[in-house]
Amino acid sequence: MNFQQAVQTCFRKYVDFSGRASRPEYWWFVLAYVIAAVVAGFIHEALYYLVVLAFLLPMLAAGARRLHDVGKTAWLLLVGLIPIIGGLVLLYFTVQPSQTVANSYGPPPQAPAAV
């Protein structure tokens, strides 16, 4: 999955908290968010808040699907509310390799067909 496919997929599934998201899908989307937020922050503070708001639900949904991909419940996103430690725990979970077999959240994500 490339950058463009990941961003399109995450915005298309912006309120889909079920299923699984591969590691590249999640991390390309995080990169898109960071780039958009930094650029918007340099332009204007109001634009920065608009970008953060626009990415909020898609980012939560992608995080939930990424946790599902490693066999964890999406409720673990709440661990991120714990200062410092919570973010490190979530980072650890999201960098784990995908489970190669179907789990209780569905089959492994399929690579999109080449265009």
pLDDT digits over 39-92, tens only?
999 999 999 999 999 999 999 999 999 999 999 999 999 999 999 999 999 999
pLDDT above 80: residue 113: no
Q: Which has the minimum average pLDDT: 29-38, 76-85, 101-110? A: 101-110
Distance (Å, whole) CA 96 – CA 102: 16
Residue 108 lies in a domain: no
Residue 56 lies in a domain: yes
Q: Whose CA is closest to 26, among 62, 67, 60?
A: 62
The count of domains in the chain is: 1
Q: Which residues form the domain of 84?
A: 3-94
**Segment 101-110 mean pLDDT:** 86
* pLDDT value, residue 102: 87
